[in-house]
DNA sequence: GCAATCTATTGACATGTGTCAAAGATTTTT
DNA sequence: AAAAATCTTTGACACATGTCAATAGATTGC
């Protein structure tokens, strides 16, 4: 088996990228957009199971996911792992590395993936030139802070079934924004990874899936999930707002 | 009782602020530092129990805490609250507001406090002019992301006593960086607020305090805490690394 | 100074989730 | 195609933390 080089020097243009609306949803003139193409240095392919970056790696670049699915996770000194997020096409990872110039979490590809490598120096240089880009970078970081706030709410206050309902609703909503179904999805992560993200054991995740399935709210077959009663899920997540 | 105006127009200079090392730890020439003074528009006093900003408020400014102690919290639709952080002098709050131009959490003063108001437009303008400031703003946001990652680890993987140990160690470490004792502190928050932050009920917080006290690791009297055996706390937080 | 109100502690008991174990599914390897 | 490995489901039971309640201590207001 021929080992593949990890980084490929394919020069790609944001200006012609079909993910631009997710990744760079800014109103630029096509002139400016040309200049912006230089944020992305290269593309990089990551095979399923490989790390895009690891805890301790020195930080140089942010990564825009072009396709594929990632998890990010932190580990305690005794080996316990916490999944801190799942990321899909159009989302940016690597922000954890900015503060100390090295990464403090692992980013693992849950399927074969491709990312745009954006050297952070380029991002900062262009941000000074384009206030719209500057604002966008700030929003991306702020969005991540707000997302983590709501995960803290899940972990601190919600029960197992509420967590899983919130998780499923969030996933389909993001997939729908990418043109996928609102009601069907194929999970890219195991029960254990879902459990790690949601602060529960894999058996509890499995039981919650089965419970939803018994109640006719979803159909589950291994990693395939069909949402039959989205309103019921919303009601579980948030008993008050939905009748 | 004469109602106080909330915002006072005291012009203050970062260049002569004794918290600069915490708030703006950047090597600037005194010339540049003068220009930087314009990030801060005004100071604002907040009385204990009042909100610096609330969920839904429109976002205009970041706030640097000059003195006093804050909590930030998010609420679910059914009223459940999750404390997402405790902030002290030299720390920046308001980052949650950037993404959507309105705040998504409440910032409550746990004691009478004073903050420097930094209109975000000023921050962005000056960031384009001063790469060092730009980098600093990025680091502040990244630091918050990394902090929240480690809270997720606490909430998702740690048991009650581990959470409280981590909480106390983190608090004294930050207080120590501000010139306070490494071993003594007066909590500014109730057991319930600690519990909300750590994802446990106030009774569980109280029991964990009592347990540590019984074991001679800390001395507790209401909100006064003295850490007698810091190593024992570290060992509870992380059984593996400390022998 | 005393009532009223918070806040913290502690006990007894309940319960949601974890733990351990076994058996099916599914995928990968050989 | 069989074997091995991995992932998922399900059951029985354990236990950490939640819930409810009573008491004590601190703080605030009159």
Whether A106 contacts A55, CB under 8 Å: yes
CB A195 within 8 A of CB B121: no
Predicted confidence band of residue A5 (pLDDT cuts 50, 70, 90): very low
Distance, angstroms, CA A196 to C1' D17? 19
Residue B242's contacts (CB-CB under 8 Å, 6 or more residues apart) are: B231, B234, B235
Q: How far is CA A49 from the centre of its chain?
A: 16
Answering whether pTM is above 0.85, one says yes
User: Alpha carbon B238 to chain centroid distance?
Assistant: 23
Residue A3 is predicted with a pLDDT of: 39
User: Does residue A155 belong to the interface with chain B, where contact is any CB pair within 8 Å?
Assistant: yes
- Which long-range CB contacts under 8 A does A24-27 form with residues at least 24 apart? A24/A133, A24/A136, A25/A136, A26/A132, A26/A133, A26/A135, A26/A136, A27/A132
Q: Report residues of chain B scoring pLDDT below 50.
A: 1-8, 242-243
Interface contact B99-A127, CB threshold 8 A: no
A239 touches chain B (CB under 8 A): yes
* Across A14-35, average pLDDT: 80
Q: Is the pLDDT of residue A84 over 80?
A: yes
Residue A26 has pLDDT above 80, yes or no: no
Both tokens assigned to B238: 């992380």
CA B51 vs. chain centroid, Å, equals 14
Determine the Cα–Cα distance for residues A70 and A60; give it in Å rounded to an integer: 19
From CA A208, how far away is CA A177, in angstroms rounded?
Answer: 26
Assess whether pLDDT exceeds 80 at residue A135.
yes
Among residues B220, B233, B170, B215, the alpha carbon closest in space to that of B197 is found at: B170
pLDDT digits (tens, 9 = 90+) for B31-47: 778 888 888 889 999 99
pLDDT at A48 over 70: yes
φ and ψ at residue A31, rounded to 5 degrees: -65, -50
- Of B77, B137, B149, which is closest to A96 when you measure between CB atoms? B149
As ranges, strand C nucleotides with an atom below 7 A of a protein CB are: 7-12, 16-21, 25-27
Whether B7 has its CB under 8 Å from any CB of chain A: the answer is no
A69 within 8 A of A110, measured Cβ to Cβ? yes
Between the alpha carbon of residue B17 and those of residues B14, B23, B34, B40, the distances in Å are 5, 9, 12, 11
The Å distance, CA of A90 to C1' of D24, is: 57
Q: Is the CB of A203 under 7 A from strand D?
A: yes
pLDDT of residue B243: 47
Q: Given this model, what pLDDT does residue B10 score?
A: 53
What is the structure's pLDDT at B240?
59
Contact B96 A240 (CB under 8 A): no
- Tell me which residues from 141 to 180 on chain A have a beta carbon below 7 angstroms from nucleic acid strand C: 159-161
């Amino acid at each position: 088996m021929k080992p593949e080089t990890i980084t490929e020097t394919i020069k790609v243009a944001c200006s012609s990228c079909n993910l631009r609306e997710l990744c760079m949803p800014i109103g630029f003139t096509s002139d400016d957009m040309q200049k912006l193409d230089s944020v992305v240095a290269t593309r990089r392919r990551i095979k399923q199971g490989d790390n895009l970056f690891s805890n301790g790696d020195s930080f140089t670049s942010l990564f825009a996911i072009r396709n594929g699915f990632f998890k990010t996770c932190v580990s305690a000194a005794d080996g316990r792992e916490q999944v801190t997020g799942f990321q899909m096409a159009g989302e940016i990872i690597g922000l954890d590395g900015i503060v100390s110039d090295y990464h403090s979490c692992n980013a693992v590809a849950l399927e074969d993936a491709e990312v745009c490598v954006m050297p952070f120096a380029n991002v900062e240089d262009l941000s000074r030139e384009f206030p719209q880009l500057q604002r966008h970078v700030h929003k991306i970081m702020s969005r991540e802070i707000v997302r983590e706030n709501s995960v803290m709410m899940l972990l601190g206050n919600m029960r197992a079934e509420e967590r899983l309902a919130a998780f499923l609703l969030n996933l389909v909503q993001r997939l729908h924004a990418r043109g996928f179904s609102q009601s069907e999805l194929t999970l890219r992560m195991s029960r254990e990874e879902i459990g790690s993200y949601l602060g529960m054991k894999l058996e509890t995740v499995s039981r919650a899936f089965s419970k939803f399935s018994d109640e006719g709210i979803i159909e589950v077959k291994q990693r395939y999930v069909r949402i039959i009663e989205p309103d019921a899920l919303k009601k579980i997540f948030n008993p008050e707002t939905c009748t």
